[in-house]
Amino acid sequence: MNVNHRLTFHFLAQLIIAFIAMFLIVILAIILSMHLITKSELKTNPQKAIVENLPYSSHIGEDGQIELKKDWQNALLDQEMWVQIVDRTGEVVYAFNTPESFQHFYTMNDLLLIEKTKQLDDYTVDTYFETWEPLPYYYLFGHIETKQQLLDSWFEVYSEGGLVREDKKDSLEKEVSEHKGMLEIYEDGKLVERIGKHLPVPANTLDVVGSIHAPGNYETKAYVVNDTEGNSAWVYHEVNDAFMDQRIRFFTNRELETFVIVLLITLLVPVILSLWNGYRYGKPLLLFMNWLKIVERKQYEDVLSGNEYKKIYKKNGKVKFRYRLYKDVFESFSNMSEKLAFAEQERKQLEKTREEWMAGISHDLRTPLSSIQGYGHLLASGQYEYTKEELQQMGQVIRDKSDYMVDLVNDFSLVFQLKNSAISIQKERLDLNEFTRSMVNKYKDDFTLTRYDFSFEPTDQPCDVKIDPKWFARVLDNLLSNAVKHNPPHTKVHVRIICEHGAKIIRIEDNGKGMDASFIDHLFTRYYRGTSTNARAEGEGLGMSIAYAIVELHGGTIEVQSEVGEGTTVCIRLHGCS
């Protein structure tokens, strides 16, 4: 997997993981909120909380088996409550802490009566109809309000016209004191009598109602009996052991407090993840910026060296875990710095070589110019009388030297045209055998080259190829000229055509002096001169680079194999040859 795919995959995976993490955090926050709210409700009004939340926590399996968590069982026991679950047929499918005398089946009339009276025998009953399950279930929660029954009995025994009978006050006060409570009697909304121990009581009417519905929020718990005929009310207060200290709470509303806590946790987790991601991804970016500054200063050898190397790599050479994502980037930076250092070294060498080449070109131009200039001075001086043969000989030398200079300048211009792709080629379909044969025959028929042995080996069948005959003739001419120019007399030059599997190959082999590896490496460099000679040499130092560029224009390749003393082989491959 390359670095682009790796980084893309990693960041996509990070995004997915972060989304999943946030989703799970939100779910956990919701569950935590529900748990805290339920826990808060269990403290403020445990009986109501059990009725409203237990159905959501009970699990009803596909086979109808019902499981109730141990915590809810303990809560029922603590509140002296029982529960029955009735299915749609009226059968009790689950019961916990119910009296043995209770029935296991309810008729429609039984359930409607319970729903209306909220009573079953001596028990106060709360009901809950479950619709979340595929099949409906009916929950019955029962408990005995002992204090409420006690207050009801006091009202029946000791009241008269809604107030306490005068002859029963002492007895009532004794009983109230025995239960460590306090009884308040209201008539027409005004407190007319208070019996028993003085306890903190709600300051207003709503607080009285609150101590009935949410007793956990008040120091006392209240029970009420209303006498509609006498327009009076008996309110019995007792110490609430489940009262929670309000002083440590930030909000007066427990649901709001729970929501704020969960919200803070939900926000804190993304902040921590963001800081961690910022540290993880930001630190490598700082390293990259530092390396770019180093590269800008061309101090390539300082990239990934010294202390920075120790920061990233372990002693065994492996990348540390926090940097492992950028392993390929580090390697790319290292490779880039090495290549830039090498390129800088090559540039300096190329600059040096170009200067040497320019000096060589100047030398090549100066030599024929000196000859032309010398003959020109002799002819202009008029000091001698030259024969017709001498004048022809001098004219021939001047012409040869000037032709050489023109060719050298043309080659120099051609090099830059090829470099800038300023020439176009006009391809024609030719038989490579006949085209190459004609080029070789030109050298075989040259009487000045009789001391060199040229031979040609065509393919057995025609080998058609699309080339520009003008420019490709220049390629073969340069290569054959070099085989003569740089080798001693009696060197054998063999040209062979290979045409198979779609490959068109021209092999030029000689058994001459050969070249060393260093010379071959720079053979196609424009500004490289392997030798410097005063002898006439057409396109000295440029011929191979010109041949290389023309072959490239034809979509081919040119390769050279040579060893000193073993000769040289030049291979031109066209049209997918290998």
> 153: domain CATH number?
3.30.450
pLDDT, position 2: 61
Is position 262 within any domain? Answer: no
Is there a single domain that holds both residue 94 and residue 206? no
Is position 213 within any domain? Answer: yes
Return all residues near 39 (Cβ < 8 A) that are at least 6 apart. Answer: none
Is there a single domain that holds both residue 176 and residue 238? yes
pLDDT, position 540: 43
pLDDT, position 105: 93
Separation of alpha carbons 47 and 118, rounded Å: 14
Is there a single domain that holds both residue 97 and residue 160? no
Is position 503 within any domain? Answer: yes
Is position 529 within any domain? Answer: yes
C-alpha to C-alpha distances, 250 to 39, 261, 560, nearest whole angstrom: 17, 10, 87
pLDDT, position 368: 80
Q: What is the largest CA-CA distance in the chain?
A: 176
Q: State the chain's mean pLDDT as an integer.
A: 79
Is there a single domain that holds both residue 101 and residue 153? no
Separation of alpha carbons 309 and 328, rounded Å: 15
Residue with tokens 């710095």: 337
226 DSSP assignment: E
Is there a single domain that holds both residue 179 and residue 236? yes
What tokens does 240 get? 């609430």
User: Which of 137-146, 162-171, 336-345 has the lowest average pLDDT?
Assistant: 336-345
Region 363-370 average pLDDT:
76
Q: Which of 220, 244, 268 is the last residue of a domain?
A: 244
Of all residues in the chain, the percent with pLDDT exceeding 90 is 17
Is position 304 within any domain? Answer: no
In what helix (H) or strand (E) does residue 24 lie, and over which residues does it extend? helix 3-44
SS percent in the chain: helix, strand, coil, step 5: 55, 20, 25
Whether 138 contacts 85, CB under 8 Å:
yes
> DSSP states of 383-413 as a string?
-SPPPHHHHHHHHHHHHHHHHHHHHHHHHHH
pLDDT, position 577: 40
Domain of residue 567, CATH code? 3.30.565.10
Separation of alpha carbons 2 and 331, rounded Å: 12
Closest to 197 measured CA to CA, from 178, 220, 180, 175:
180
Chain CA centroid to CA 236, Å = 68
Buried b (16+ CB within 10 A) or exposed e, 312-343: bbeeeeebeeebebbbebbeebeeebeeeeee
List, in sequence order, the alpha helices (H) in 420-444.
432-444
Is there a single domain that holds both residue 446 and residue 537? yes
Region 545-571 average pLDDT:
90
pLDDT digits (tens, 9 = 90+) for 209-226: 766 666 666 778 888 888
Whether 575 contacts 504, CB under 8 Å:
yes
Answer yes or no: is pLDDT of 326 > 60: yes
Residue with tokens 């300082």: 302
Is there a single domain that holds both residue 120 and residue 239? no
pLDDT, position 51: 84
Is position 338 within any domain? Answer: no
> DSSP states of 113-126 as a string?
HHHHH-EETTEEEE
Q: Which of 30-44, 70-84, 252-266, 364-378 has the highest mean pLDDT?
A: 70-84
Whether 84 contacts 143, CB under 8 Å:
no
Beta-sheet pairing, 190-196 with 503-510 = unpaired
Grade residue 162 by pLDDT with cuts at 50, 70 and 90. confident
pLDDT, position 223: 86
Region 412-440 average pLDDT:
83
Whether 480 contacts 439, CB under 8 Å:
yes
Q: Which of 136, 163, 188 is the last residue of a domain?
A: 136
Q: Which residue has the higher pLDDT, 8 or 175?
A: 175
Region 146-156 average pLDDT:
86
User: Which of 9-13, 97-101, 489-493, 531-535 has the lowest average pLDDT?
Assistant: 531-535
Separation of alpha carbons 226 and 206, rounded Å: 16
Answer yes or no: is pLDDT of 576 > 50: no
What tokens does 411 get? 């080659």
Closest to 291 measured CA to CA, from 346, 321, 329:
329
Grade residue 525 by pLDDT with cuts at 50, 70 and 90. low
In the sheet with 567-574, reading across from the earlier edge strand, the strands are 453-457, 492-500, 503-510, 567-574, 557-563
Half-sphere exposure of 1 (CA within 13 A, CB side): 10
Full domain range(s) for residue 461: 424-574
Grade residue 352 by pLDDT with cuts at 50, 70 and 90. confident
Region 111-118 average pLDDT:
90
Is there a single domain that holds both residue 570 and residue 428? yes
Beta-sheet pairing, 232-239 with 181-187 = antiparallel
Is there a single domain that holds both residue 127 and residue 206? no
Is there a single domain that holds both residue 66 and residue 170? no
Answer yes or no: is pLDDT of 95 > 50: yes
Beta-sheet pairing, 492-500 with 503-510 = antiparallel
Whether 523 contacts 542, CB under 8 Å:
no
Is position 531 within any domain? Answer: yes
Residue with tokens 């970016």: 285
Is there a single domain that holds both residue 78 and residue 182? no
User: Which of 145-149, 205-209, 256-260, 529-533 has the lowest average pLDDT?
Assistant: 529-533
Q: Which of 221, 244, 267 is the last residue of a domain?
A: 244
pLDDT digits (tens, 9 = 90+) for 130-143: 876 677 889 999 98
Is position 471 within any domain? Answer: yes
Is there a single domain that holds both residue 85 and residue 189? no
pLDDT digits (tens, 9 = 90+) for 235-268: 888 887 666 444 444 445 555 666 677 778 777 8
How many domains is the chain partitioned into structurally?
Answer: 3
Half-sphere exposure of 299 (CA within 13 A, CB side): 10
Return all residues near 548 (Cβ < 8 A) that are at least 6 apart. Answer: 524, 558
Grade residue 324 by pLDDT with cuts at 50, 70 and 90. low
